[in-house]
A and B are shown apart, each in its own frame.
Chain A
Amino acid sequence: MQTATAMKASERGLWSGDEAVARAALDAGVALGTGYPGTPSTEILEAFGALGGKAQWAPNEKVALEVGLGAAFAGARVLVTMKHVGVNVAADPLFTAAYTGVDGALVLVSADDPGMASSQNEQDNRRYAVAAGIPMLEPSSSQEAYDFALAAFELSARFRIPVILRMTTRVCHSKSVVRRRPSALPPAPAPHFVRDVRRRVMVPAFARPAHHRLRQKLAEIQEWAESAPLNVQVSGDPKLGIITSGISYQHVREAAPGASVLKLGTVFPLPLGLVRSFAAGVDRCVVVEEGDPVFADAIRSAGIPVESKAEMFRFGELSVERVRRILARDESPEPPPAKAKPPELCEACPYHPVYGALKRMDCIVAGDIGCYTLGVMEPYQAMDTCVAMGASIGVGLGLRHVLPEAEARRVVSVIGDSTFIHSGVNGLMEMVYNPPPTGHVLLVLDNGTTAMTGQQEHPGTGRKLDHSATGLVSIEGLARAAGVEHVYVVDPVKDPAGFAKLLGERLAANDLTVIVARRPCVLAAADIRHHEKVNAEKAAQAASSACSACGGDDA
């Protein structure tokens, strides 16, 4: 396979959009890549690391962005990756990072998932660019993922502002042909701290002028966008003009090969002058965009008359067929999606005995995000809520606070190891601080990996992104330190009856309980053993060479 890793030396490769971004980051001189795994963004940092870049997983997206921001304050170029819902977690520092700006360069990849191939919602993160005042670029192929990622670093360095590269599932995961190009960026200077409190300490007195500076920058960037090569016109029949971006552009070119097309690469700020002249030059001007009518609303509110898609096309991905319908103003019912076998827990998954017990005890399960969400499927149907990363604990506590006692006792919060580290710890503190009268039972399903996204490491595994050994954050240790008195670590596969008995007892008590059900993911177990062996060998080697180096008494 011509992966980005294999293509180190050559100039043309068949890469996914994610691999192309990783390659561009390396070519742009990125000193640090950080993020939290999330489909469809996960492969970016993995590829960046495999190519030799410094790549690391953060406990969550907020921390990743903050680490990235610190590095960018010091003058480094930084890549921060996450899925669309991850940007919600990172939104707090993001909005103010727009005010502070950066010294080196910072590009945040937001990997959106229209159609929800592997997500809990299909939010359109183009809205974030507008809301936070952060420039956003959107590629439509792997080639553009490479080119636009480079352009994003150039833009970020030039205007000293974070830039969002917005991708979608089809751009992230589709493979297409990429040619590399030399970056216009000079080599990054060595990081160095320059004190600048007015620009980086966002107390109101400094934040007020910072907001003015941001709007001034955005006005300059809009000016730049009007003639930026990232916005492309395809000349065609003046009877039909289409304004589009991202993957929709590819569908448009196929659905309407003769049309005039304005393809927007700068999603925010929009080059409204360019849009105005394009719209004026065609008889019928249609905006074809996946998700929310973000462009159509912005263009119309600028007083430019354009046609938007029907409401039915807000939902799900676009495709060549759907673009044909939009252009034909066809709002007839679409054929139902092909029957597909839904995903399920792996046959040898260690969660089977857990879900078996939860079902038998008729528990009310406040669930969370990961493989274990599949406990909602047959034969268990043992999950009652799943909203956001880490939400199982807060939602479970809320249920316990107000339900009648008999029902409250059946409530269990179920969360995975990586999700617990991501944002479950906050819920843990709430559990100790505001305990419900019936207590609570928190079940952490620790399979030793971030399984759903493809088995990434996290702080609870004690291994870094590249699987080398590092500090280990103990889940049971965190629970005890937070003040939970009843903390148990069990293997649900080795002793399913013992697990069920323990769960039953703890549900009957009025205490706070954390049960860590620990058993490696069946898909990851062999790899975990391999990493452990390699790390143990490395440690032994380091220890023995340290002995001979010191030249002590035995030498």
Chain B
Amino acid sequence: MPEVVNVVFAGLGGQGVIKASDILADAVFRAGLDVKKAEIHGMSQRGGSVTSDVRFGPEVFSPMVPAGEADFLVVLAPSQVENNLHVLRKGGVLFPPDLVPETSLPNRRSLNVALLGALSHHLAIAEEHWRAAIAAALPERLHELNFKSFEVGRAAARARAAA
């Protein structure tokens, strides 16, 4: 399935890992693609490691990204980078939490959306779908803040690509 794009999100319970994967899945759904999203929740919510997989393309079968086949790995917690690197394929792209410095964000809770912004630099998904997905996932009072974080993240990825 060469056309399927595999994204893995990783972090700790409470960081918004699942929220980030929900937003991505919704954005690609709005773009009309087939998409599957898998995560484990339940006991892992209590501050433990959390990962969530999003796969999209013309047709997706398994909802889980096989090890070594992720095109993109988005990590929200510094402690969760090393132990998740094995999911990336050769040439896959890592989005570590320090790609977007906390000080550049309007709110540190919006790191998940900022890293989605960084990811968006590498994906052909129209801006409108991202915005609609963010708006649908978050209460209205957080929309502007998260749109801004998304832009900060996107600029960071652009800068990294140019460097």
Contacts and interface: CB of A to CB of B under 8 A. Distances in A.
B43 A1 contact: no
B122 to A, nearest CB: 21
The 5 closest A-B pairs by CB, nearest first: A118-B42, A343-B48, A39-B42, A340-B49, A343-B46
B35 A14 contact: yes
B73 to A, nearest CB: 12
Given A2-B29, A174-B38, A177-B29, 7 more contacts: A1-B22, A39-B43, A175-B37, A319-B62, A319-B64, A343-B13, A343-B47
Given A1-B22, A14-B26, A176-B36, A344 B46 contact: yes
Given A176-B60, A374-B46, A170 B38 contact: yes
A371 B37 CA distance: 26
A173 B67 contact: no
A335 interface: yes
Contact of A253 (B44, B61, B64, B67): B61
B40 A1 contact: no
A251 interface: yes
A263 to B, nearest CB: 12
B12 A117 contact: no
Given A250-B62, A346-B46, A2 B35 contact: no
Interface residues on A, range: 35 or more
Contacts of A345: 46
A169 interface: yes
A343 B44 contact: yes
Q: Is the interface of B mostly helix, strand, loop or mixed?
A: mixed
Interface string B32-62: 0011111111111111110000000000111
Nearest to A117: B40
26 contacts: A1-B26, A2-B29, A39-B43, A117-B40, A117-B42, A141-B36, A169-B40, A170-B38, A170-B64, A174-B63, A175-B22, A175-B37, A176-B36, A176-B60, A177-B34, A247-B63, A250-B61, A250-B63, A254-B66, A320-B66, A342-B48, A344-B47, A346-B46, A346-B47, A374-B46, A452-B42
A2 B26 contact: yes
Contact of A118 (B35, B43, B60, B137): B43
B123 interface: no
Interface in B47-91: 47-49, 60-64, 66-67, 79-80, 83-84, 86
A39 B39 CA distance: 13
B25 interface: yes
B1 interface: yes
A481 interface: no
Contacts of B44: 117-118, 343
Nearest to B65: A320
